[in-house]
Amino acid sequence: MAKSKFKTILGDGIALAVPLAVVLYVFSKIVGVIQKAISPVAGKYGIDTFLGDITLTVLALLVLLLLMLVLGLFMQFPVVTKIRDSIEEIILRFIPSLNQLKTVLAERFDREHATSFWKPVLLQQSHAYCFAFLVEESPEIGVFFILENSLHEGKTEILKREEYTYTHVEPADMRKCLKQYGAGSTALIARLLAKSTSNP
């Protein structure tokens, strides 16, 4: 069983590493091309050594960022979106594993975007305390993303309103306890409960 799980994890790692390596390789090549293109202009205005040896790299990254912003603006047009989809389909035919990388990055971005709007709480149920994000709440139910080992790992639970209570917790305190596998939670919980008792 453990051996099978090891093979699965290793296979997933390889499947992610290959497209990631391709993306990094292509990215480095693009930056290199931009460096060569802007080098004469930067030399003409005397800014090619402004930050030392990394000046051209920094300028190339800024130019690349600007190009991506421009492309992002073009993506507002349906015609450009169709062209993008067609190009992406062709690329995925040659490198299918890039689709996995795309999915992983999209999920990660969605999760980080969502957690910036959710309310971090110490959730108390009849049997346990746990760190969670309050996703949404009504008079009847509460929707929580219950955390496990980090701010981005966990599970969603929908609880009846009478089954839980919660106390607001600072994200930094919650992150610190999660990073230490729960160490420091007892002191934090005692402090939060004392605070909630003194401020009904």
- Report, as an integer, the average pLDDT of 11-17: 66
Same domain, 136 and 150: yes
The residue among 62, 81, 112 that closes a domain is 112
pLDDT at 141: 92
| pLDDT above 80: residue 155 | yes
Cα torsion 99, 102, 108, 110: sign: negative
Count other Cβ atoms within 10 Å, centred on residue 121: 21
Same domain, 176 and 145: yes
| pLDDT above 60: residue 83 | yes
Domain range for 68: 2-112
pLDDT at 1: 44
Same domain, 16 and 94: yes
What pTM did the predictor assign? 0.42
- Is the Cβ–Cβ distance between 151 and 171 less than 8 Å? yes
